[in-house]
Amino acid sequence: MDTRKLAAFIFALFLITGCRQSHLSANRPLTDQTIKAPDPQGQCILQPETKNRDKNPGSDQGKIDQALELCGVAQSYWEEGNLEDALSSLDEAYALMLEIDTADNSEVDQQKEDIRYLISKRILEIYASRQIVVTGHHDAIPITLNDHVNAEIKRLTGPERKFFTRSLNRSCRYRPFIVQELKKSGLPEEISWLPLIESGFNARALSPARALGLWQFIPSTGNKFGLSRNHYIDERMDPEKATRAAIDYLKELHNLFGDWTTAIAAYNCGEYRVLKTIRRQKLNYLDNFWDLYQNLPRETARYVPRFLATVHIVKNLEKYNIVIDKPLEPLEYKPFDVKKQVRLSEIAKAINVDTDTLVSLNPELRHEVLPPEAYTIKVPVDHAAQFMARIDAIKTTYRQPPQYTYYRVRKGDTLSGIAGKFRTSVNAIARCNKISKKSCIAIGKVLKIPGSGKASAKTATASSAYNKSKEITYTVRRGDNLWLIAKKFSTTTKRIKALNKLSGTRLSIGQRLTIVSGDKGNSEKFSKYKVKSGDSPVGIARRHNMSLDRLLSLNHLSKRSKIYPGQNLLVE
């Protein structure tokens, strides 16, 4: 048994179940045992007492005594630097604890749990020290050729052979840097093949789950590991930045799980899914990744065998008659700081280089244009001198992208009517919302409208007709909310609530409201709040002393809407 995997499981189990060191606290004393004072090395050692004991080795108490003796043996091995035997002894001690049936004996149950805690704590300590004692920080990845892996080998060398060969050719551009960074971090070189099954070594690969780049980061995980994202750039597509982020993530996962197969599975489906699966296992402990195999999501269950198959194949290319015939060479570049917003095509033309080359060197530029703020652009080494000489003379023809506004469909609205109201076209609205121009639009649906977001003068004049009446009665329609009604009649939600003696923001269809159009009273002032990782609508509303309904209506959100880090919300 691989005890390091056992340690990782116990650690994960403690994270989930909340096991604490209170087993050894004064208010939950050990039964039939005493704890000696820390020895000179600071280690606390459990010792059995001698009275009222059943010395039969096959009894529960006898197994507890044997486990304690094995813990002592493990401590001796550890002090001698013999980590493998120390782990093996603790493994045996843990196995003895699993043999004890404590259904009818609460005292023995308490002893058993105390010793299990001691064993797990000692295993974690030994595992941590192992990273310093052994050569290198992590073990190599073992390639297991079982039925699952062999099935993936057949796929990659059979139906998916063309994909595999193309990916190998692309890998030649990126792997030298990846291998270099892995060596710096002390990680196995085999991990450099992970992008092959993630993205086929395509720097701009996008999955249905919105995972992007060589290493297929989703936005939230990319943000957690320092990959910026805005209108102009998305660092998930930068091979160098994404590689460093992936290494940080993989190191974190390996520190949590203790073995590479489980860490790589967690890279695919997330550490919390793997921890949840471990917790639901009917096994007493985790032997290895393959114990988890059947209970992981189907994609992940294939992911690890697919990775192991890839590593096996690249080490045996001749055996499978695979040839890297069109390798993409690494692009040598020189970085330059640029403070003007120009298109890559304009730079390429000025320095006489192919635009695709500049795009390949700067894949994080989402629209192939530099951002308005200072940006470090990568230029081919052979064209660096030309770039320095001509960058100041390059004139930009770039224009700001169109602004968007959002409109909630009301009763009687049509696409042509909305297009006329916002001085745009039906085709433009259809493209923005990925719908057909003949599509039916449902009341309450929020549409993205291209353009400045200002209604036409004709519409403004029509809406001003509402303002001619000092006081009106309005009947609530489907899709209405206080914020929309207030905006429609140039008033405020607070004024409407005060006039109608409303305690909350909930409205019902057919409800009649008294509204004074054009009466804003003390104009409402809103501020913007930038959503952070871990935020929720409820938490944001509570933080700004708002009701959840108020926050949602103010930002055209429903209770099912999702918010994301970096999003700007209006708050009071």
List the catalytic residues.
198
Cα distance between residue 302 and residue 157, in whole Å: 16
Rounded to the nearest angstrom, the gap between the alpha carbon of residue 498 and the centroid of all alpha carbons in its chain is 45
Cα distance between residue 463 and residue 422, in whole Å: 13
**Are the C-beta atoms of residues 330 and 340 closer than 8 Å to each other?**
no
Closest CA to 142 of 262, 247, 253, 251: 262
Antiparallel, parallel or unpaired: β 446-450 and 404-408 = antiparallel
Cα distance between residue 262 and residue 274, in whole Å: 8
Neighbours of 543 (CB within 10 A): 11
Helices (H), 81-133: 83-99, 106-133
Cα distance between residue 216 and residue 400, in whole Å: 29
Cβ-count burial 42-80 (b if 16+ within 10 Å, e if not): eeeebeeeeeeeeeeeeebbebbbebbebbebbbebbee
Angle at 137 between CA 38 and CA 2, to 5 degrees: 70
Rounded to the nearest angstrom, the gap between the alpha carbon of residue 128 and the centroid of all alpha carbons in its chain is 26
Closest CA to 358 of 337, 340, 335, 389: 335
Residues 6+ apart with CB under 8 A from 183: 189
What own/partner pairs with CB < 8 Å and gap ≥ 24 does 60-66 have? 60/100, 60/101, 60/102, 60/105, 60/108, 60/112, 61/32, 61/108, 63/96, 63/97, 63/99, 63/100, 64/96, 64/100, 64/108, 64/111, 64/112, 64/115, 66/93, 66/96
Dihedral sign for Cα atoms in the order 530, 534, 540, 543: negative
Q: Cα-Cα-Cα-Cα dihedral of 516, 522, 528, 531, to 10°?
A: -70
**Are the C-beta atoms of residues 495 and 534 closer than 8 Å to each other?**
no
Neighbours of 356 (CB within 10 A): 10
Radius of gyration of the chain (CA): 32
Query: Rounded to the nearest 10 degrees, what angle do helices 298-314 and 260-269 cross at?
Result: 130
**DSSP 8-state assignment for residue 23:** G
Closest CA to 15 of 252, 250, 257, 224: 257
Dihedral sign for Cα atoms in the order 60, 65, 66, 68: positive
Report how far apart the first and last C-alpha atoms of the chain are (Å, whole number). 59
